[in-house]
Amino acid sequence: METIRQFRSLAVRGGLLLSAVAGAAGWVISPELGQGLLGGGITGVLAFWFLARQTERLAGAPREKAHAAAYAWTALRLMLYGAVLAGAYRLDPESLHGLLGATLGLFTIQGVVLALSLTWPGLKPGGKEQDPPR
């Protein structure tokens, strides 16, 4: 379980860092693009954090409770995504730089998680965790 917590923590920190760098780089091109990248990136990281925490909590829960809670958090994440995309659209409705930035920002955490999952030293080639036995 500790490996999962470390992975989540590293993914959140990496996602926030990458979002800040992407937002600053996007700001050079267009302020709306930078705001969209930063807002979408932070939202994506927050949604990932919600999902990872909920997964940890529900790992030992009964199946019926876990199933219902997973759907509730999915709806919350989708509403959060929609709110960020709507706000980003209002930043620049003509050129859509804010909307493009927010869309790319939402996927930033996916890239970080993919990169970490391919390079994470806590997993053996067989896919088993290297946590000490309890």
- Residues 76/10, Cβ–Cβ less than 8 Å: no
Residue that has been written with the tokens 């804010």 in this structure:
98
124 domain-assigned: no
pLDDT in tens, 15-67: 999 999 999 999 999 999 999 999 999 999 999 998 888 888 777 777 777 66
Rounded to whole angstroms, the Cα distance separating 28 from 111 reads 22
Which pLDDT score is estimated for 41?
96
| Residue span of the structural domain in which 35 resides | 2-118
Residue 11 has pLDDT above 80, yes or no: yes
Residue 131 has pLDDT above 70, yes or no: no
pLDDT in tens, 77-105: 899 999 999 999 999 888 999 999 999 99
Q: What is the number of domains present in the chain?
A: 1
Among the listed residues 95, 107, 74, the one whose alpha carbon sits nearest the alpha carbon of residue 29: 95
3-state secondary structure of 47: helix
Amino acid 80 reads L
101 domain-assigned: yes
pLDDT interval class at 3 (50, 70, 90)? confident
pLDDT interval class at 5 (50, 70, 90)? confident
128 domain-assigned: no
132 domain-assigned: no
Which residues, in sequence order, are CB contacts of 95 under 8 Å at separation 6+? Answer: 30, 32
133 domain-assigned: no
Which pLDDT score is estimated for 128?
54
127 domain-assigned: no
130 domain-assigned: no
Q: Which residues pair with 129 in a beta bridge?
A: 123
Residue that has been written with the tokens 């930033």 in this structure:
108
Which pLDDT score is estimated for 123?
57
Task: Read off the pTM.
Answer: 0.81
Which pLDDT score is estimated for 1?
66
Question: What DSSP state is assigned to residue 68?
Answer: H
Which pLDDT score is estimated for 122?
67
